[in-house]
Amino acid sequence: MSQPTPHHFTDRLIAAIRRKKNPVLVGLDPRAESLPKGLLAGEENEAVARAYVAFCRGIIDVVAPLVPAVKPQAAFFEQLGPTGCVALGEVMNYAAEKGLVVILDGKRNDIGTTAQAYAEGYLGGVGFQPAQKSPWGADALTVSPYLGDDSITPFLTIAKERGAGIFVLVKTSNPGGGRFQDLVADGQPLYRHVAQFVEGLSAKSRGSEGYGFAGAVCGATYPEQLAELRQAMPSTLFLIPGFGAQGGTAKDCAAAFDERGLGGIVNNSRGIIFAHSRVEYRDKFGDARWQAAVEAATRDMIAQLATETTAGRL
């Protein structure tokens, strides 16, 4: 008896974007030194891990009714060792229980069976059969393309089987990304070669909304390149980092979206989760009302994207 085909990841993500009427992605990047006062009860890794779970659950409680997805950053949990990894699993499970799409930011890859192990371990939170659910249960994973197309294939295979997705690094938001990404090969920058490859994958896996389940990471901090890549990648949904603390604005993100307000999901980590310490929210909310600051920052970002991009048509 044949198994039912899992729902197309990007269609599922877009459905969540339509329900919430915005493309905001909240990054869960907990840092001990930035937590609101009172959450951290000790400096040992176990205490920090407990604080991270409490903090991230508190953020999820606030943003789940407002946004379609969250993006836990694996590094801040792995930094704590095994206890941090357990905390990451708890946070991801809690986000899924609250109905959020969970994109794990791990930037993983390797070759052959190692890439397959990463894919099988991380991808698959929505399989119809229990055996299809991965240990981590991520709906999608960020992936590095540096090892070439054969390193991406295992991720694509598992993603297709499980209704999951990947976001391949194309043009990252950090200042140093251009050292390699902008190098010219065969008449065009390296990031354009990666973009062409990813667009080919996306074009072959388009869902009903016109976007494939192989997405691309393209930073808001390079708006001209973002516009260029949107023209070159019409079938690819963008994960857009760099908004807020890194200097990217809603206007910088505008070119990523099509006339329907679709085509991208915009990440904001520090600007939302640590809003209680930002100048514009600190006096009104502070540590005592840090969750209210998270809500205010989230709503402000939603409003900015609605004003400056076609996401306002959602």
Q: What is the CA radius of gyration of the chain?
A: 19
d(CA 198, CA 215): 7
Of the residues 20, 71, 107, 171, only one is catalytic, namely 107
d(CA 133, CA 131): 6
Three-state DSSP class for residue 189: strand
Distances (CA, A) of 185 to 95, 200, 213, 277: 42, 19, 27, 44
Question: Catalytic annotation on 171?
Answer: no
Complete DSSP assignment for 2-56? PPPPPPPHHHHHHHHHHHHTS-EEEEE---GGGSPTTS---SSHHHHHHHHHHHH
Q: Which of 269, 278, 231 is nearest to 248 (CA)?
A: 269
Copy the structure tokens of residue 23. 């493309």
Active site residues: 107
